[in-house]
Amino acid sequence: MKKETIIEVNTKRVCGKTNPMIYGHFIEHFHRQIYGGIFDPNTPLSDERGFRKDVLDALKNIGTPIVRWPGGCFVSNYHWKDGVGKRTPFFDKAWRVEEPNLFGTDEFIMFCQAIGAEPYICTNAGTGTAEEASNWVEYCNLRNEGKFAKMRIENGHYEPYNVKYWSIGNENYGYWEIGAKEQKEWGRFVLESAKMMKRVDPSIELLAASISDLDWNINLLKEAGEYLDWISIHGYWDSLQQVDNPSSYESCMVYTLQIEEQILKTKYILGSLGYLNKIKIAFDEWNLRGWHHPNIHGGDWLADNIISARDRNDINATYTMADAIFNACFLNLCLKYSDLVGMANFAPVVNTRGAIFTHKEGIVLRSTYYVFELYSKYMGDTIIDSWTSDSDFFEVNHGGKTYKVPSIDVIATTKKGSENLRISIVNRNPNQAQVVRIKNNSKFEKGVMYSLISSSKDSYNDVGQPESCKTVEYSIQINSFEAAVEVGPHSVNVLVLS
């Protein structure tokens, strides 16, 4: 007899509104994300602007709400004027390759317009200045006042771009970042940048590079807190930067239990500094898997295999149902903390560790892509009260410790204007299906379950096997206050009850 997990739902108790921007994405000038990823002018698969049409279609299909660009570490030595008008290639010291600058601000804005996403620009707080960042705001958002708006017009773009989201810096707290800064230095730099950027366009929303560390944020928020709408934090749990040895499915399930602590630490820091209801969290780089780029922050500088090492990020076999389950658990937490986490950007969206892989004949939609499709299409816009009991557990030995991992992870939502319940039911269990019984305070007539399934926990999609991980649809007859469904092992499910 399969163990049952009971999910009780109270549709009358609203816990929050979904922030659509938690389904956001990130793309950086790294390896094949831009050139050969979204931008590939030399292939018949691209349109007249050089954008891959299959990638545009895939991103529109999941309703991509926002895209963060151009980095990431890259941005800390990027000067935006090199990427508009007459293009100036430069040696990118972040990733130690030549950047041709053929894809710049104008192309990024056109790309976002093509998929209906908000542009989110991260500015250079490494080698850049407050003035350079504010000039970038002028270029994008002023109608025609001053030389930078006039520069945009001369480049053929009369209408302002009205870019709303701007970040000051990327991980400037880290020794690895070009232009890394001390805590006090960082607070002052953000203050001066924020002053100038807001004077250009007071309507913009400002983010600043942050980390769930009290000392870093004390200085940042004391100096610049009044100007900030968001703080930016990042998370990569399977650290593969130096050695590309992806963790097992079971270890990745342990990582799903470690996401919440970073959100809570940041929440307590914001609360202790009095900014809890003013500043929101943008988890604007997150991925189960750290990007593989060995010897970039020191070590064997002369290694001549930096590109072949980065090619390892494109091995589709890496991205299994572990990645899909992790993504679903991450998004469930963003929904759970919808009062605080207002944006999240999967890092990255195309190639490297992304949801979409491009190749000469087309694209591969990796397991993680289907999680964004499930959530963007079937989850609701209002989080309602739900709790589980009797959830099954399985044990995992990871890092010398034994973890009890709950099989089931759940969040319940409803959709404005419709009476139905939309419940994410994630089964972390690597080999056992689970029976889930939903008890509601109103009667169900029928249900449809959309399930991302695979034959194995280690299944992955690739060229030639595009549907090893795929979404299937089940109809369920109910006519009761309770609904019992079985969810397969290592599966992500959205149950719509009406």
Binding to ligand AHR by residue 169, rule CB under 6 A?
no
Binding to ligand AHR by residue 73, rule CB under 6 A?
yes
DSSP state of 102: -
Indicate the burial class of 144 (C-beta count within 10 angstroms; 0-12, 13-18, 19 or more): exposed
Smallest distance from ligand AHR to CB 91, Å: 17
Contact (CB, 8 A) for 322 and 249: yes
Smallest distance from ligand AHR to CB 417, Å: 39
Binding to ligand AHR by residue 123, rule CB under 6 A?
no
**Binding region for ligand AHR (CB under 6 A) out of 48-56, 65-73, 412-420, 425-433:** 65-73
How are beta strands 4-17 and 97-99 bridged, if at all?
A: unpaired
Binding to ligand AHR by residue 235, rule CB under 6 A?
no
Q: How far apart are CA 462 and CA 363, in angstroms?
A: 9
Binding to ligand AHR by residue 244, rule CB under 6 A?
no
**Binding region for ligand AHR (CB under 6 A) out of 43-51, 66-74, 154-162, 426-434:** 66-74
The residue annotated as part of the active site, out of 99, 107, 171, 373, is 171
The residue annotated as part of the active site, out of 177, 223, 285, 373, is 285
| Closest C-alpha to 71, from 28, 106, 31 | 28
Smallest distance from ligand AHR to CB 78, Å: 11
Q: Binding residue for ligand AHR (CB under 6 A) from 72, 104, 126, 342?
A: 72
Per residue, the 3-state secondary structure of 433-475, as one string, reads CEEEEEEEEEEEEEEEEEEEEECCCCCCCECCECCCEEEEEEE
Binding to ligand AHR by residue 323, rule CB under 6 A?
no
- Applying CB under 6 A, the site for ligand AHR has a residue count of 9
Binding to ligand AHR by residue 170, rule CB under 6 A?
yes
Residue nearest to ligand AHR (CB): 72
> How many Å is the Cα radius of gyration of the chain?
23
Between 56 and 349, name the residue whose CB sits nearer to ligand AHR: 349
Binding to ligand AHR by residue 99, rule CB under 6 A?
no
Applying the rule CB under 6 A, the residues between 254 and 313 that interact with ligand AHR are 285, 291
Q: Which residues contact 460 (CB under 8 A, 6 or more apart)?
A: 316, 317, 318, 319, 320, 366, 367, 468, 469
Binding to ligand AHR by residue 314, rule CB under 6 A?
no
DSSP state of 80: G
Smallest distance from ligand AHR to CB 31, Å: 10
Between 133 and 421, name the residue whose CB sits nearer to ligand AHR: 133
Amino acid at site 73: C
Q: In the numeric block, which tokens belong to residue 229?
A: 């709408």
Binding to ligand AHR by residue 201, rule CB under 6 A?
no
Q: In the numeric block, which tokens belong to residue 393?
A: 């557990």
Between 50 and 354, name the residue whose CB sits nearer to ligand AHR: 354
Instruction: Locate all alpha helices (DSSP H) within 100-236, ordered by sequence.
Output: 105-115, 130-141, 146-154, 183-200, 214-224
Q: How far apart are CA 382 and CA 365, in angstroms?
A: 28
Active site residue 361: no
Smallest distance from ligand AHR to CB 153, Å: 32
Smallest distance from ligand AHR to CB 348, Å: 8
Contact (CB, 8 A) for 102 and 39: yes
How many residues are recorded in the chain?
A: 498
Q: Which residues contact 170 (CB under 8 A, 6 or more apart)?
A: 71, 72, 73, 75, 76, 122, 125, 126, 177, 209, 232
For residue 388, what are the β-bridge partners?
7
Binding to ligand AHR by residue 28, rule CB under 6 A?
yes
Binding to ligand AHR by residue 71, rule CB under 6 A?
yes
Active site residue 285: yes
Q: What residues are labeled active site?
A: 171, 285
Contacting residues toward ligand AHR, per CB under 6 A: 28, 71-73, 170-171, 234, 285, 291
